[in-house]
Structures are given as structure tokens and as C-alpha cells.
Amino acid sequence: MNSLTSHCQFELPAWVGLLLQDWQEPLRTTSQRMELAVALSAENIRQQTGGPFGAIVVNEETSQLVSVGVNLVTTVGLSMAHAEIVALSLAQSSTGEWDLSCSGPMQLVTSCEPCAMCFGAVPWSGVKSLICGARKSDAEVAGFDEGDKPGDWVKLLQRRNIVVQCSVLRAEAAAILAQYGDSGGTIYNVGSGEAPDQQ
């Protein structure tokens, strides 16, 4: 049989390191953490390295930043490279543990509530809590598709002992989505172009 690709990788854009130089640890408050996630989403548009979504993983005990993520779908060529998957995977690469609970109480902070895929990914990652900025409706206004996530997704995560808080700095986070939509930011469609974009 033919020789197939056996290796897959992705990397954060170089600008992420420069942006982080302006931020100080510890990130003690939920607002401070969300400010960074939103700043990543905004800079990802400005740098044209992907969609308007940012996420970080923070150790809740130490308030130290463990990883950051931005949406890299179009630039790394992987449909799974949503900000949340990027941040979780980089946290796991950093800690060496696919189960982040082995490395402390970890929190995923995302500039927009997760799509169906990222919702499903949260329990598998071992994070203890999830903080979201913009809501599904904010993403939809900008032309994005959240996928078929259960309506009671917050309760379903809570039932798995994952603490969830929504609408943290929602206005600031939603403004970045609206800006992307208004500016005619690339809406990358699957297939025919008839379906709305995924986040």
C-alpha cells in the first residue's frame, strides 16, 4: 500500500511570544485571564493568522499561565486547530500529561464558548474549570457555526465536576467577533460555501 503521511504538527505564530511580554503573572483574577484570551483573539485577526478566537490554560492554584492558544485552522491547515484544542494540547505537551489534572487544578479560559468539538474535548483534557467570554449567539452573528452542541452543555460539564462560568468580559470578547465579521474577515466554509463557518 502507498506511503502515507504519519506525522502531524502545529506551532503558535511568532507574534504570540511578543504579545506575552506585555503580560505579567500571576493572573489572579478571572477578568485578568479573560483579558489575555481576548487580546489573543484580537491579535490573531490583526496578524491574519486565523479566526477571532483565543484561549489560555492557567494553573488555578499558582495563577501561572500554562499555555496559550489561538485559532489556527486556516494557517496550519487542520480543522481541529481551534483555540481551545491548541491551548489544551500545548498544555499537555508542556506538562507531559494528557490528563492535566495530574499537574494541578487547571482552568481553560476561552474568548468564546466552545463549539461542539471543543465542548466534547473539555472533559477528556482533565481541566477542572472552564471560563467563557462571548456566547454562541455572538459567534453566530459574526457568521460562525457552533456545531450541534447539547443545549444543556453547561450542566453536562458540571455533572462531570467541571466548574463553568460564562459571559466573562462578554462585551469585550463579542466586540472582537463583530469586528471580524464587519471587516469581511475570511469566513472559511466547509464544502459548498453554503454552510456558515465553524469557530
* Region binding a copy of itself by CB under 8 A among candidate stretches 38-46, 68-76, 135-143, 167-175: 68-76
Told to check if 120 binds a copy of itself by CB under 8 A, we report yes
Q: Which is nearer to a copy of itself, 17 or 31 (CB)?
A: 17
Q: How many Cβ atoms from other residues are within 10 Å of residue 19's Cβ?
A: 19
Tell me the torsion sign for CA atoms 126, 35, 168, 12.
negative
Q: Residues 5, 182, 183, 184: which binds a copy of itself (CB under 8 A)?
A: 5
Whether 172 is a known active-site residue: answer no
Instruction: Give the single-character DSSP code of 128.
Output: S
Judged by CB under 8 A, the residue of 55, 109, 115, 173 near a copy of itself is 115
The window from 41-49, 129-137, 144-152, 171-179 that contacts a copy of itself (CB under 8 A) reads 144-152
Please state the closest distance from residue 171 (CB atom) to a copy of itself, in A: 25
110 part of the interface to a copy of itself, by CB under 8 A: no
* Phi, psi angle pair for 42, to nearest 5°: -65, -45
Regarding 195 and contact with a copy of itself (CB under 8 A), the answer is: yes
8 A C-beta contact, residue 36 and residue 171 = no
Q: Applying CB under 8 A, does 166 fall inside the site for a copy of itself?
A: no
How many alpha carbons lie under 13 Å from residue 139 in its C-beta half-sphere?
Answer: 25
The residue annotated as part of the active site, out of 25, 60, 61, 84, is: 84
How many angstroms separate the CA atoms of 129 and 144, rounded? 24
Determine the Cα–Cα distance for residues 187 and 43; give it in Å rounded to an integer.
Answer: 17
Catalytic residue annotation:
84
